[in-house]
Amino acid sequence: MDSPTRYCRYLRGKNAYGTLEGGDKPFLNFDPATTTYWCLHTMGPVGPDSQPAHLTTCGNDKRKCFAVPKEREEL
């Protein structure tokens, strides 16, 4: 079953609450205006496809760099 909250496993974020991790588990997006995102691969705010790393873009499995969350891979 498709989870409505599924993000690339390499997506990371940080806001006042703490560090956020991608993957199948729900992503703690408390405060979009002050959350910074980055991609583990580039360790910068862009993905390997040179586009922004963000919650609204890194759940897109059509993106060529999208990596299936680990939990899903094991299914």
Partner 1 sequence: MANPNKKKIVLPVAPDNQAHGPVKHLHSKKVKLPYGVPGHGLTEMEREVSIDEPPPLPINEKLNVVGKRTKRADAIYKVTGTAKYTSDIQLPGMLYGKFLRSPHPHARIKSLDVSAARRYPGVHAVHVLKMEPGGSVERDSGHDAPAETYNIEELPLLRYVGQPIAAVAAESQYIADEAARLIKVEYETRPFVLELDKARQKGAPIVFEKVIEDEGNEGDVGVTAAEDQEGNLRGPSTGSFLGGPRGDVEKAFAEADFVLEREFRTQVQTHCCLETHGVVADWQPDMLTVYASTQNTAGVRDDLAELFGLPKSKVRVITEYMGGGFGSKFGAGHYGVMATILSKKAGRPVKLMLSREEEHISAGNRPNSHQMLKMGFKNDGKITAIDLTSYGTAGVGLGAGVGRIAQDMYECPNFRTAQYDVFTHAGPGAAFRAPGNVQGVFSVEQMIDEAAERLGLDPLKYRDVIDKHEVRKLMRLKGAEAFGWEYKKPGSDPGPIKRGFGMAQGQWTRFINLNSSATVRINKDGSVAVMSSVQDIGTGTKTILAQVVAEELGLAAEDITVKIGDTLYPDGPGSGGSVTAGSITPAVRNAAYKAKMDLLGQVAGAWDVEIGDLEMKNGDVYSRSDSSKKMSFGEAVKKMRTNQIMATASRPDDYGGFEIGNGIGYGRLGSVQFAEVLVDTETGFIKVERVVAAHSCGRPLNPMQVESQINGGVIMGVGYALYEDRILDLNTGHQINANLDQYKLPYSKEIPKIETVIIEHYGAFSSTDASGIGEPANIPTAGAIANAVYNAIGVRLYELPMTPQKVLTALGVS
CB of 69 to partner 1, least distance (A): 10
- Residue 10's nearest CA partner among 1, 49, 34 is 49
Distance between CA atoms of residues 44 and 37, nearest Å? 8
* Least gap, CB of 72 to partner 1 (angstroms): 14
Q: Measured between alpha carbons, how far is residue 4 from residues 1, 11, 25, 49 in Å?
A: 9, 16, 10, 24
Residues in contact with partner 1 by CB under 8 A are: 4-7, 9-10, 12, 14-19, 21, 25-38, 40-46, 48-52, 54-57, 59-65, 67, 70
Q: Minimum Å distance from CB 75 to partner 1?
A: 17
